[in-house]
Amino acid sequence: MSTAAGGPGTAAAGGAAAGAAARDGASGGHGTGDAAHGDRGSGGGGPGGRTSAWPPLNELALARGEVDRSGHLRTDEAWLAAAWANPDTRVIVVEGGRAMIGLTDGKTWLWTCPPAEAPDGVRFLLGVDEDGVAYFGVAGMLPAPPEPEVRAVSLRVAGPLLSDRDAGLLTHAVALGNWHETFTHCPRCGARTEPFASGHARRCPVDGSEHFPRVDPAMIVLVTDSADRCLLARNSAWPVNRVSILAGFVEAGESAEQTVAREVHEETGIVVGDVCYLGSQPWPMPQSLMLGFRALVTGAAEITVDDEEIVEANWYSREDLRIAVAEGRLLLPPPVSIAHRIIESWYGAELPGTW
């Protein structure tokens, strides 16, 4: 795989598996000063010390949520029917990874409708909030803008702008909507499958096999050398100056930590160790789960790119990064991406630049 603004592969503003839909990761908080990049525990501060004190990622844009998923209700047909008949129930319509988003007085919000106004399509329960309001998603045709300030927007754009509740609901709805749009037939016999468990699974009516939403785990890693410089690279499909950290899909029979070591070495010739997990974020575009890491160079820091997926890679100090961004020589991943937040946690402050 290759560098990504948050997900593995190729894409100008994010990441994507080569030849597949764009995939990148999303946002989170950043550390400051030594807490972000200096002292790493009693094993000795500095780049050669232990990584146990590298701060975990938090406030990731697409890893938020406030609504209980209420899994125990997904097979309660009587409750589901009553909830769908309740005009207080809210429905989120998704199509092609987009939903209707409103912008009023500088605030971004997720447009919903009552069940009676929802279009035809696969229906799925998203959960019930603390006030007892049920939320459903429908994978169907988006309506015409119901209000002047409402329009269709992708999760990639809307995610970091929404509240915790709305971001969680939209991420959940897009993930299920994408799956239902692509997984329609049984891989065993070819028969058309049918949704059950309130849209969280599909069943083959011919052989009875049950199928669940596919999630592709992928690692994304910031590598640092003995001088605490970070490794940034450009994918061959990206525009000049667009860079990110390295990413790749976990292969069969492989741990995420093994993926880190393999991908970094395959793409840059760098050998790493001291791999430290930071946090994760769903990236349902269409079906990735990004696992964020940091790792240290254990041998020589000489870079040899593969010239296929990666066409250039370089080491950057914090000052190098600041100057390169200010001069327009580097374009960093956007804040929606987990890559942005991992780089930011190393940088120790809000990242400079535009996205």
Q: Distance (Å, rounded) from C-alpha 244 to C-alpha 257?
A: 19
| CA diameter of the chain | 65
**Do both 249 and 343 map to the same domain?**
yes
**Do both 204 and 79 map to the same domain?**
yes
What tokens does 285 get? 């575009």
Strands of 194-196's sheet, edge to edge?
A: 194-196, 201-203, 210-211
In a domain, 115, yes or no: yes
Residue numbers of the domain that contains 46: 3-60+215-347
Which residue stretches of the chain have pLDDT < 70? Answer: 1-53
pLDDT of res. 233: 97
Q: How many domains does the chain have?
A: 2
Q: Distance (Å, rounded) from C-alpha 241 to C-alpha 314?
A: 12
pLDDT of res. 53: 66
Task: Give the CATH number of the domain where residue 161 resides.
Answer: 3.90.79.20
**Do both 28 and 135 map to the same domain?**
no
Asked if omega into 284 is within 30° of 0 (cis), the reply is no
Task: Give the CATH number of the domain where residue 331 resides.
Answer: 3.90.79.10
Note the pLDDT tens digit of each residue in 267-291: 999 999 999 999 999 999 999 999 9
In a domain, 152, yes or no: yes
**Do both 255 and 148 map to the same domain?**
no
Q: Distance (Å, rounded) from C-alpha 302 to C-alpha 318?
A: 19
**pTM, entire model:** 0.83
pLDDT of res. 32: 28
DSSP strands (E only) in the chain: 3-4, 90-94, 98-104, 107-110, 121-128, 134-140, 150-154, 194-196, 201-203, 210-211, 216-224, 230-235, 245-249, 272-283, 288-297, 310-316
**Do both 89 and 115 map to the same domain?**
yes
pLDDT of res. 59: 82
Nearest CA among 37, 32, 38 for reference residue 349: 32
pLDDT of res. 239: 92
pLDDT of res. 1: 53
pLDDT of res. 16: 31
In a domain, 352, yes or no: no
